[in-house]
Amino acid sequence: MTDNFEDIDAFASAGLRLTVDLGALVENWRDMARRSGRARTGAAVKADAYGLGIEDVGEALYLAGARDFFVATAEEGATLRLYAPDARIFVLSGIWPGTERQFFENDLVPVIASEEQLTFWMSVLADHGDHPCALQVDTGFNRLGLQAEDAIALANDVSRPASFAPVLVMSHLACGDDPAHAMNRQQLEAFRKVSTAFEGIEASLANSAGIFLGSEYHFDLTRPGIAIYGGQAVGNMANPMRPVATAEARIIQTRSAKAGETVSYGGALKLTRDSRLAIVSAGYADGYMRSQSNNGVPLRQTGIAGGQGFIAGYKVPVAGRITMDLTIFDVTDVPEKLVRAGDYMELFGKNIPVDDAARAAGTISYEMLTGLGLRHERRYIFDEADE
């Protein structure tokens, strides 16, 4: 058995690859910090930093100055603690029996979001001593949080244990991506009453979209998420953020097909001209969703255009249905010499905005990013010019 194989750069030879521009990520965070005015700016890094890697993303943001982070689970918080040693790390799902050790050993801040969690947290403090927490209040989302009136009653309860001392009271906007929606103002007014009741305790309402709503939504701490990662936070507005993630797939084969032949499962696409096709190594198992198919899926009946790739300066459409591991693109309009097996097709990135790819799939950039599969070889870059 020989061991004389040449060492090859894993990224250069990967079938699927994802480039994460940490310089763009940091500049996006700084942009959101500027827009947050006097409020301090944290960062939502839940779901493995929106699919881009909590270790590298967390460290880059920490080095850029972020000191408040929001994760979904204690496990995420424990991982992040290694890269953000003295930051406050808030765990949005709160605390449950059996997880106490993770919170205390990693200095994580549970976000208390229900009466049940509040009762349990009181017992934890009685057994283990003081520890910071945050309080989530529902102001109309009907997701997590104490009812606003119950939170105000808690703030005014003189019998409340002194050990229960939240460092942050927070709520979440339901319609922040639609600036004209009346619910934004309703939630703002409700949250103002809560924050007033918790006088002297920091307050946080604005996510990425909330930051764009203006200074009255900023309070003491903003917590941008999707905007940091280059996604569009507000509908019907040009996205000012820099693209962060670029997903590419290798072309495994190019082939010619005649007019009248069909492409992919179900024969959903019948070619109207002689065509050249490029088959790439990405499919719905990699987060390149079947609903992006240009033919043979219900979404195309709505008039929304299907997915596109980018190669050699050309945007090219998906041909037929996307499959588990493979996607076919129609490259007929690209000069033949510019498309070869082994080349890479951009699925989204600087030329195909992630929000455009998401719209073709009938979804949002959050899902596109967090749905990235495990088969992408990742590369992190940081352009010195972005510092």
Calpha distance 329→314 (Å, rounded): 12
Rounded to whole angstroms, the Cα distance separating 317 from 328 reads 9
Among 342, 286, 373, CA closest to 12:
342
Could you tell me if 267 and 257 are in contact, meaning their C-beta atoms sit under 8 angstroms apart? no
Given the residues 46, 50, 229, 380, select the one marked as catalytic: 46
Active site residue 217: no
CB count within 10 Å of CB 381 equals 12
Q: Is 46 assigned a catalytic role?
A: yes
The tokens describing 259, both together, are: 């007019």
**DSSP state, 334?**
S
Here the tokens at position 177 are: 């991506």
Task: Compute how many other C-beta atoms are within 10 angstroms of the C-beta atom of residue 287.
Answer: 24
Distance of alpha carbon 387 from alpha carbon 382, whole angstroms:
8
User: Choosing from 62, 83, 193, 265, which is the catalytic residue?
Assistant: 265
Q: Which single residue is written with the structure tokens 């549970």? A: 110
- Which residues are catalytically annotated? 46, 265
